[in-house]
């Protein structure tokens, strides 16, 4: 579904919204930044630019970075690419880093796992502190998979946990049973959700997603409880 027409801004409206913070900005400046690849507004059939709120925020970022940090456009463009991939731009043109977040309800910690997080191979190795050999091993066992050109936040979470397990002598080959168990749990969840997906309407799809997330959460809680019970049980 396309974005409603009024969700777009004309270049004049964008200029008006920017002028209070950046009085020197001009339409020519906005067009120049577009030609430099810092934003890509959509076009109407007649060729007029249609800016979204995301385009507007990108412009604010670019103009502020130029004014306040004196960054060259090359560095700003690299920073925007990092932000688009869910990374945190480094100061002074350094390497971007994967964001870290606090735990949520004690269940997840260490890394932001938003689906828009995109890491290339070298970034994943550095962020997870694993070797090329370890990553290749994890991929061969199906524990980590590249999606398109990048690895996502889930891949980083898995890699970081594996790195911590490696300190105890546990290697990727020891973790194949985890992947097998996870695949079986997913199969069970899909069986429960399947009837909901056969129903028509967006509400049914939303309900199926809600049930899937709830079942996944319950599955993780059950797994943790079973481990705790086994550890605490007398031999």
Over residues 186-209, the pLDDT tens digits come to 999 999 988 888 888 888 888 888
Which domains can be identified in the chain, with CATH numbers? 5-91 (1.10.1660.10), 98-170 (1.10.1660), 174-235 (no CATH)
pLDDT band at 91 (very low <50, low <70, confident <90, very high): low
Contact (Cβ atoms closer than 8 angstroms) between residue 2 and residue 44: no
Annotate 62-121 with three-state secondary structure: HHHHHHHHCCCHHHHHHHHHHHHCCCECCHHHCCCECCCCCCECCCECCCCCCCCCCECH
Q: What is the pLDDT of residue 115?
A: 55
> Which has the higher per-residue pLDDT, 148 or 110?
148
* Vertex 180: Cα angle to 176 and 183 (nearest 5): 140
Of all residues in the chain, the percent with pLDDT exceeding 70 is 88
Q: What is the DSSP letter of 2?
A: P
Is the pLDDT confidence value at 113 over 60? Answer: no
Give 127: exposed, middle or buried? Use CB within 10 Å, 0-12, 13-18, 19+: buried
Q: What is the pLDDT of residue 108?
A: 43
Average pLDDT, the chain: 85
> Which has the higher per-residue pLDDT, 102 or 171?
171
Q: What is the pLDDT of residue 93?
A: 59
- Summarised one tens digit per residue, pLDDT across range 8-27 is 899 999 999 999 999 999 99
> Which has the higher per-residue pLDDT, 29 or 233?
29
């Amino acid at each position: 579904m396309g974005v409603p027409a009024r969700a777009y801004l004309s270049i004049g409206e964008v200029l008006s919204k920017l002028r209070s913070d950046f009085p020197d900005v001009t339409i020519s400046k906005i067009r120049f930044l577009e030609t430099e690849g810092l934003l890509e507004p959509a076009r109407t059939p007649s060729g007029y630019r249609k800016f979204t709120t995301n385009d507007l925020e990108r412009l604010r970022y670019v103009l502020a970075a130029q004014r306040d940090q004196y960054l060259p456009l090359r560095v700003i463009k690299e920073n925007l690419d990092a932000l688009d991939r869910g990374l945190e731009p480094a100061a002074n043109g350094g390497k971007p880093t994967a964001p870290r977040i606090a735990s949520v309800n004690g269940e997840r910690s260490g890394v932001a796992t938003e689906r828009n997080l995109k890491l290339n191979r070298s970034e994943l190795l550095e962020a997870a502190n694993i070797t090329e050999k370890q990553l290749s091993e994890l991929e061969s066992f199906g524990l980590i998979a590249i999606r398109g050109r990048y690895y996502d936040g889930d891949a980083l979470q898995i890699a970081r946990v594996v790195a911590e397990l490696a300190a105890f002598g546990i290697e990727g080959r020891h973790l194949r049973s985890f992947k097998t168990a996870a695949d079986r749990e997913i199969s069970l969840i899909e069986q429960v959700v399947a009837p909901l997906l056969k129903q028509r309407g967006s509400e049914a799809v939303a309900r199926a997603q809600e049930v899937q997330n709830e079942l996944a959460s319950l599955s993780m809680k059950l797994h943790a409880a079973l481990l705790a019970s086994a550890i605490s049980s007398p031999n």
